[in-house]
Amino acid sequence: MTKRLSHETPTSPAIPKRRTVVKAAAATAVVVPLATAPLAHAAARTSAEGPAFLHGVASGDPLPDGVLLWTRVTPTAEAVPGSGKGPDTTVRWEISEDRDFSRVTASGSTTARAASDHTVKADVRGLHPATDYYFRFSVGSSDSPAVSPVGRTRTTPAHEAAAPGVRFGVVSCANWEAGWFSAYRHLAARPDLDAVLHLGDYIYEYESGGYPVSEDVLRAHAPLHEIVSLADYRTRHGKHKTDADLQALHARHPVIAIWDDHEFANDTWSGGAENHTPGTEGDWSARQAAAKQAYFEWMPVRPATEGTVYRRIRYGKLADLHLLDLRSFRSQQTTVGNGDVDDPERTLTGRAQLDWLKQGLAGSQAQWKLVGTSVMISPVAFGSVPAHLLGPLAELLGLPKEGLAVNVDQWDGYTDDRKELLAHLTDRGIKDTVFLTGDIHMAWANDVPVKAATYPLSESAATEFVVTSVTSDNLDDILKVAPHTVSLVAAGAVKAANRHVKWLDMDSHGYGVLDVTAERSQMDYYALSDKSDPAATSEWLRSYRTASGTQRVERADQPVR
């Protein structure tokens, strides 16, 4: 959720809603090469010389016995993303446990068609659990084929296996025009990850100079206008996958992705979006369908029933990963300070998805229950009175009962869903639940209180780790100030009003690395030196963990090794 600044002035009233959170608080490595030698004869080929792989390769949604492979072929020079041009092209794929493909495990072929924007997927099965594989694609004659870059992927442990540990890279909010994707490069350089979780805002829908404003644009995306049609969304996805750091990430690790609002339009809900005007931008259902079609074409994600991304991936007996879709079924956002946030008729998840999540959590045989949620579940409220007084005052004034929520696009805007879910965790005695979140362009480590007003005297139902943005504007970018100029005061105000918030960083761009063992789940937070520098370095910032059985966050002294 991000609104644009106006074009007239960076401090105009049209400041994004997400930014209201931090403003209210203030008021109160080099990538390891992957077997490129066998491809030397084809590496220089471009679409002008025949079929070519200009958008890299990717894998995703791993299983114990399989994985989804992805690429796009450009069959002719005019067959650019979104063009609808170019002939049907047979694409061959192969997967091997060897980098040099001396022993091919499986192979096959599929057809790249203009109807799917010449993207292809191969849902490979029959693989071994917890195993590294290498894969590639090719087109053309066997004598002189065009061959894709080589990708590496990894299957998950067998469902009944006692996996000793699992480690994920965690990212969110990558705005092309706001900076370089160095976070992806640093994650691609790590050999120790089982997968990378992308928690949404993989692309942004705005016109060039819409967000950030034109003077802050570091590189122009395509198309230059706001994306509305199927061709537009395809073009924008295609532009992103020309980024070298993004290609490196996808080539090195399987990516497990969910969407947030900007894969569609700002503040998306089931029937529309803040950044959609039916009179001039057409019917919302048509735009939503176009965005979903392009997403499933261009992302290594298995299409789910009814065009949703909520699904579950298991890592042996150690962890279940429950992935949510918080855009397709939600009610329209209400306004800040409106008691409608407590209305039980309003929903963030939709009834079917919430029941699916509750059943999955209760029935999980895994020790850790990880929940990928695109927006923050921990309450964040502000006021001039202590947090423990906000509840009674809200009752008298008809305000939200957990305090004056300032970001109603999050779970704070749909408190009945949150109340039901947290009650389910406590009533069923479900332990070791960790929410993994993006969206808000800041890094957080939170307990998730059952009753925020009485915390820490009341219990915590779960914990939450929120990662900052890859490039999208944070507090410093919005206010155009040096790091820590206002953020220390703002973070202090947030923590004073919300005692379940253990740590908050408003200054950094970067990524997280989540390491899960039987004893604990730990998030290491990494910050980039400068998002405007394509060679930005990465530095460990801080680590937080939750020990098994505690439902509480504590600081860790060092990152996992």
Same domain for 353 and 287, yes or no, is: yes
pLDDT for res 481: 83
pLDDT for res 453: 84
pLDDT for res 400: 55
pLDDT for res 494: 85
Q: What angle do CA 126, 127, 129 make, to 5 degrees?
A: 130
Same domain for 255 and 140, yes or no, is: no
pLDDT for res 404: 61
162, part of any domain: yes
* Inter-residue long-range contacts of 452-457, CB under 8 Å, 24+ positions, other chains counted: 452/379, 452/381, 452/387, 452/402, 452/403, 452/498, 452/500, 453/387, 453/388, 453/389, 453/390, 453/391, 453/402, 453/403, 454/388, 455/387, 455/499, 455/500, 456/499, 456/500
Q: What is the pLDDT of residues 476-492, one digit of tens each?
A: 888 888 887 878 888 88
2, part of any domain: no
Same domain for 319 and 364, yes or no, is: yes
9, part of any domain: no
Same domain for 105 and 164, yes or no, is: no
CATH number, domain containing residue 126: 2.60.40.380
Give me the domain span that covers residue 331.
17-31+156-556
Backbone angles phi, psi at 306, to 5 degrees: 65, 25
Same domain for 135 and 171, yes or no, is: no
Q: What whole-number distance in Å separates Cα of residue 315 and Cα of residue 62?
A: 10
Q: Are 190 and 183 in contact (CB under 8 A)?
A: no
Same domain for 252 and 177, yes or no, is: yes
Q: What is the pLDDT of residues 416-430, one digit of tens each?
A: 999 999 999 999 999
Same domain for 114 and 165, yes or no, is: no
12, part of any domain: no
On the CB side of 309, CA atoms within 13 Å amount to 29
Helical packing angle, 415-427 and 351-363, nearest 10°: 20
Residues 6+ away with beta carbon under 8 Å from 544: 445, 465, 502, 503, 522, 523, 525, 553, 554, 555, 556
CATH number, domain containing residue 293: 3.60.21.70
Q: What whole-number distance in Å separates Cα of residue 175 and Cα of residue 177?
A: 6
Same domain for 141 and 165, yes or no, is: no
Same domain for 134 and 161, yes or no, is: no
Domains of the chain: total: 2
Same domain for 122 and 168, yes or no, is: no
96, 126, 149 - which closes a domain: 149
561, part of any domain: no
92, 117, 149 - which closes a domain: 149
327, part of any domain: yes
505, part of any domain: yes
List of the chain residues with pLDDT < 70: 1-48, 305, 382-406
Same domain for 439 and 494, yes or no, is: yes
The candidate with the shortest Cα–Cα distance to 468, out of 452, 491, 449, 450, is: 491
5, part of any domain: no
104, 126, 149 - which closes a domain: 149
Same domain for 142 and 175, yes or no, is: no
Instruction: From residue 46, give the alpha-carbon distance in Å to each of 40, 53, 333, 341, 535.
Output: 13, 8, 46, 53, 26
Q: And the tokens for 495? A: 């923590």
pLDDT for res 198: 98
Longest pairwise C-alpha distance within the chain: 79
Q: What whole-number distance in Å separates Cα of residue 300 and Cα of residue 221?
A: 22
Residue 386: how many other CB atoms lie within 10 Å: 11
pLDDT for res 169: 98
Q: What is the three-class DSSP state of 379?
A: coil
